[in-house]
Amino acid sequence: MTQFLQYVISGLATGSVYALVALGLALIYRSTRILHFGHGDVTTAGTFFAFTLLGLKAHFIIAFGAALLFGAVLAMAFYFCVLIPAQRREATQLGQIILTVGLGLILQGLVAHFGGTEPQSFPFPLSDTRIYRLGGLVVSQLSLGTFGIGLLACLLFYLLVQKTRLGLAMRATSENLPAAQTMGIPTRQILALSWGLAALLGVLAGLFLAPALLLDPFFMLEPFLKGFAAAILGGLNSLPGAIVGGLILGVSESLAGGYVSIAFKNTFAFLVIILVLMVRPEGLLGEEFIERV
pLDDT tens by residue, 174-190? 888 888 888 888 999 99
pLDDT of 293 reads: 47
What b/e readout covers 238-263, taking b as 16+ CB neighbours within 10 angstroms? bbbbbbbbbbbbbbbbbbbbbeeeee
What's the start-to-end Cα distance of the chain, in Å?
A: 54
Provide the 10 A C-beta neighbour count for residue 234. 29
Q: Domain coordinates of the chain in residue numbers?
A: 2-279
Which segments of the chain have a pLDDT < 50? Answer: 292-293
pLDDT of 107 reads: 95
**Phi and psi dihedrals of 85, rounded to 5?**
-60, -35
**Rounded CA separation 20/36 (Å):** 14
| CA quadruple 261, 264, 266, 272: dihedral sign | negative
DSSP letters along 204-223, please?
HHHHHHTTTS-B-TTTTHHH
Question: What amino acid occupies position 86?
Answer: A
> How wide is the angle at C-alpha 187 spanned by C-alphas 186 and 190, nearest 5°?
90
Q: What is the pTM of this model?
A: 0.91
CB 231 within 8 A of CB 242: yes
**Quick one: the chain helix, strand, coil %, rounded to 5?**
75, 5, 25
pLDDT tens by residue, 236-252? 888 889 999 999 999 98
Nearest in space to 292 (alpha carbons), one of 169, 180, 175, 190: 175
2-279: CATH topology is: ABC transporter involved in vitamin B12 uptake, BtuC (1.10.3470)
